[in-house]
Amino acid sequence: MKKSVLLKKESLKLLPFYLFFVILTVAVSNNSFFWDKDIIISKTAFWFYENNFSFQLPNSIDTGYTPILSLILALLWKIFGIKLQIGHYLMLPFSLGLIYQLYIFLKNLLSTEKYVFPALILITIDTTLLSQVIVVSSDLVLAFFFFLSVNSILGNKRYILYFSLLGLSLVHFRGVISCFVILILDYYIHRKEYKGNYFKSLLNIIPQYLPSVLIYAGYLLYHYKTTGWILKHDDSPWASCFEVVSIQGFIRNILIIFWRLIDFGRLIFWIAGFYMMIMFIKKKFRYDDKIQLLILLISIAFIVNLPSMLMFNIMAGHRYFIVIYILITATVAYLLFEKTRNKRLIRIFYAIIIIVMISGNFWIYPDKIAKGWDATIAHIPYYKLRKKMIHYIENKGISFNDIGSEVPNTAMIKYIDLSDDNRQFPLKNFDTHKYIFYSNIYNMFTDEEIDELKNNWLVEKEYRFLQVYVILYKNPVY
């Protein structure tokens, strides 16, 4: 009874956050599938829907890891029909669940409950987290199961850990990597409990990990027997992502990771962190168990994920850092609210962080700099602008075959808008296409191609809203 009353009280306190995410989800529920990662979820769901849920996926949509989100989406389509709203509402339990798990995490972290909600606000205004709430995202699901796992360990709820690890391992291959983060954290905490008895502490935690290991290994074995490959194959659409980079590429990846950590307003956390570090040096802050836990979690998450981000091509997207972003924000919030004694300084710092983080939703760079559009809510105007341009194209009687474009606009409309429309814009060819459908959303246009369009091609039609635009360029030859 006490637990249910407590849960009810906590839910009431979190009601403004829940309402915000419900309203946000309803507001975007008619939005199409957006980025390539979202469209692949749609494509795979269609495969399941149209092929009696066969797991023998074509190589063109087979990512190598368990397609659990697509499977659930296809099942919901069977029940409720193929609608855009279904995908968005599928995300809602995970966004609400994540809020609750973050609340529990912060509540255990902060000694004064009045600071839990200000800290939660800092996390929820992060544009990358918000962007994953408004699309069909495996990264949102991953974040939910990650913090459910962390809270299960910290709260010693081992029975929940069976479930959370299974969800984490099935949602994405990065979820499997995250299971190692959880294992190291789990082992570290139990090692302290068992006073350095390494074998006993390891033996005690292993049972919770066995179901997810066995189920995931079973899927990989089945996948290998039916396809002949695991995780990667030569003609994979994502083969370029797994190319080992050169020394120059390695250095470039270091710079990209640094950029990801300061982008979209997060620079303010590093400025605040630098100030906190000075306070540590002056011994105004005490290094306690909670700071140790936060630094441990951030360090493990970095160390486990860093090799793939550094060694391979295009493996350091903003959304890959979502757990790290949350942990860094929680660390700054802890130092601010728990270690800063000057109340006025707390208010000033907090106000500045809020303003800068909100501004992060509008950090847009020049066209020739690729942006993480799938990791910022700044992309929201694109949905309507794209549809307006398609209506213009149809009214003018222009054939889709005459219009080149780029990812993610080259997928079949069926997969993007969940319609019966099998048309698609072919991949751009400046020599043969009469038109080019361009948007600053598309990162795959080279600098030279952007210059060519702006300097030599004619603007047939253009739609803009805020910082997003779509342009239909006409080849001057025609």
Q: At 199, which amino acid appears?
A: F
Write the DSSP symbol of residue 362: G
pLDDT digits (tens, 9 = 90+) for 458-473: 999 999 999 999 999 9
pLDDT digits (tens, 9 = 90+) for 44-81: 999 999 999 998 899 889 888 899 999 999 999 999 99
pLDDT digits (tens, 9 = 90+) for 277-288: 787 777 666 778
Asked whether residue 392 carries a pLDDT value surpassing 90, the answer given is yes
- What is the Cα–Cα distance from 88 to 90, expressed in whole angstroms? 5
Asked whether residue 146 carries a pLDDT value surpassing 90, the answer given is yes
Q: Beta strands of 110-261 (E only): which ranges?
A: none
SS3 212: helix
Q: What is the mean pLDDT of residues 385-406?
A: 97
Asked whether residue 2 carries a pLDDT value surpassing 50, the answer given is no
SS3 199: helix
Of 123, 132, 47, 163, whose CA–CA distance to 324 is shortest?
Answer: 123
472 pairs with which residues across the strands? 437, 461
Of 48, 63, 61, whose CA–CA distance to 220 is shortest?
Answer: 63
Of 475, 153, 177, whose CA–CA distance to 323 is shortest?
Answer: 177
Tokens of 290: 């909670």
Q: Give domain status of residue 15, yes or no.
A: no
- What is the Cα–Cα distance from 446 to 448, expressed in whole angstroms? 5
Q: Give domain status of residue 435, yes or no.
A: yes
Asked whether residue 437 carries a pLDDT value surpassing 90, the answer given is yes
What confidence tier does 140 reach under pLDDT thresholds 50, 70, 90?
Answer: very high
Note the pTM of the prediction, 2 decimals: 0.94
Asked whether residue 5 carries a pLDDT value surpassing 60, the answer given is no
Q: What is the mean pLDDT of residues 163-170?
A: 96
Expressed as residue numbers, the domain containing 386 is 381-474
Q: Give domain status of residue 425, yes or no.
A: yes
Asked whether residue 1 carries a pLDDT value surpassing 60, the answer given is no
In angstroms, the first-to-last Cα distance of the chain is 75
Return mean pLDDT, the chain: 90
Q: Give domain status of residue 408, yes or no.
A: yes
pLDDT digits (tens, 9 = 90+) for 110-130: 988 889 999 999 999 999 999
Q: Give domain status of residue 276, yes or no.
A: no
Of 440, 424, 59, 380, whose CA–CA distance to 233 is shortest?
Answer: 59
Q: Give domain status of residue 458, yes or no.
A: yes
Q: What is the mean pLDDT of residues 439-443?
A: 95
In sequence order, the 6+-apart residues with CB closer than 8 A to the CB of 218 are none
Tokens of 225: 């027997």
Write the DSSP symbol of residue 195: T
Q: Give domain status of residue 303, yes or no.
A: no
Phi, psi of 316 (to 5 degrees): -130, 45
pLDDT digits (tens, 9 = 90+) for 235-248: 776 666 677 888 98
Q: Which of 110-124, 197-211, 387-401 has the highest mean pLDDT?
A: 387-401
Tokens of 157: 């709820």
Tokens of 125: 């205004």
- What is the Cα–Cα distance from 188 to 206, expressed in whole angstroms? 13
Phi, psi of 434 (to 5 degrees): -75, -30
Tokens of 7: 């849960």
- What is the Cα–Cα distance from 313 to 250, expressed in whole angstroms? 9
Q: What is the pLDDT of residue 285?
A: 66
Q: What is the mean pLDDT of residues 399-411?
A: 95
- What is the Cα–Cα distance from 284 to 159, expressed in whole angstroms? 40
Q: Give domain status of residue 234, yes or no.
A: no
Our count of domains for the chain comes to 1
- What is the Cα–Cα distance from 297 to 323, expressed in whole angstroms? 10
Percent of the chain at pLDDT > 70 equals: 95
- What is the Cα–Cα distance from 389 to 470, expressed in whole angstroms? 7
Of 191, 110, 97, whose CA–CA distance to 145 is shortest?
Answer: 97
pLDDT digits (tens, 9 = 90+) for 350-388: 999 999 999 998 888 888 888 899 999 999 999 999 999
Asked whether residue 314 carries a pLDDT value surpassing 80, the answer given is no
- What is the Cα–Cα distance from 418 to 383, expressed in whole angstroms? 14
